[in-house]
Structure 1
Amino acid sequence: MLGEFKTFIARGNVLDLAVGVIIGAAFGTITKSLTDDVIMPIIGAIFGGFDFTSYFVRLGPVPAGYAGSLNDYAALKAAGVPLFGYGAFATVVLNFVILAFIVFLLVRSVNRMLARMEREKVEGTAPPAADPADIVLLREIRDELKNRAPL
């Protein structure tokens, strides 16, 4: 069983998957920063201070010892207040759409590159173009003259 496991791990697919997961996690962090630190502030500036995280509905009471703002989603959530955070959800959906679009662009680029490489490969292995008729005729005459007996 241990030998089978070593073979399974060494096959390559598992290693490729592990690398993909690690890079994906790092890429998710980059996408989150892109959304939170670049795109959302621009959207906020365009719509006059629009901040998705400030859109939520409290579903339960605020603890008696809570001294923070009632409009601070992160602080209320940390205090254990049940919240319906549709603004935070909208941010996560936007993160997903951005990530999906970037992955789409990457896959599209790779597919185009592979198609170009395949096309170049097919063009490189194509048979040479047929010789013009006059060249073929001259070759036939040459071959016929070679085959004749000397005079």
Structure 2
Amino acid sequence: MGIVSEFKTFIARGNVIDLAVGVIIGGAFGTITKSLTDDIIMPVVAAIFGGVDFSSHFIRLGEIPATFKGNPASYADLKAAGVAMLGWGEFFTVFVNFVILAFIIFLMIKAINKMMPPEAPAAEATPEDVLLLREIRDSLKK
């Protein structure tokens, strides 16, 4: 029973529960960010650069196998077949997704910092010579 009670104590700690909530909210936030990137931003970027699906931009490095059954212009089909490729369009999409996520987190942290009360300035440490002089003064008063 000792290990079970220790486990309950561990789980009941506030920081473990906070971490669990953060992971769940982070997962949901990641989904929202991915949708923002895939459904709103990347279509605009694709329209500017002339492509409908930005992830379809790649450079094929290897040969297509003779047994390949699929669309030779499809990044997903070629990737599934194991063809060597530079998927720069997919990388660009993931990179934009990361930048958006990082920027949104930056804005959230900035807003949270504005809501927090300002920290009181730390008291400066008293120099050693002043402390020594105070001790001498107090000793002389006695």
What TM-score, normalized by structure 2, do the two folds share? 0.72
> Are the aligned partners of 1:58 and 1:84 in contact in 2 as well (CA < 8 Å)?
yes
One-letter identity of the residue aligned with 1:104: F
1:129 is aligned to: none
> Structure 1 residue 92 and structure 2 residue 103: aligned?
no
Return the match for 1:40 from 42, 53, 61: 42
Equivalents in 1 of 2:24, 2:96: separation in Å?
Answer: 22
Counterpart Cα distance in 2 of 1:10 and 1:68: 52
1:38 partner SS: helix
Q: Which amino acid aligns with 1:99?
A: L
User: Are 2:2 and 1:17 aligned?
Assistant: no
- Once superposed, what is the RMSD of the aligned Cα atoms? 2.1
Larger Rg, first or second structure (1 or 2)? 1
- Structure 1, unmatched stretches of 5+, are 123-151
What amino acid does structure 2 have at the position aligned with 1:109? A
Aligned to 2:124: none
**CA distances 1:5-43 after superposition (whole Å, capped 9, x unpaired):** 211110011111111111111211111111111101111
Q: More deviation in 59-68 or 90-99?
A: 59-68
- Runs of 5+ in structure 2 lacking a partner? 121-142
**How many residues in Structure 1 have an aligned counterpart in Structure 2?**
118
Give the letter for the 2:6 counterpart: E
Name 2:103's counterpart in structure 1: 101
- TM-superposed CA distance for 1:78, in Å, is 2.2
Identity %: 64
Give the structure 1 partner of residue 81 of structure 2: 79
Q: Does the aligned pair in 2 maintain the 1:43–1:50 contact within 8 Å?
A: no
Question: d(CA) in 2 for partners of 1:6 and 1:31?
Answer: 35
Q: Which runs of 4+ in 1 moved over 3 A?
A: none
Task: Give secondary structure in 1 for the equivalent of 2:38.
Answer: helix
1:45 deviates by 1.8
Q: Which amino acid aligns with 1:86?
A: W
Instruction: Report the alpha carbon displacement of residue 102 of structure 1 after superposing the two structures with TM.
Output: 0.6
CA distance in 1, matches of 2:4, 2:69: 57
What is aligned with 1:146? none
Task: Supply the distance in 2 between the matched residues of 1:83 and 1:37 (Cα, whole angstroms).
Answer: 25
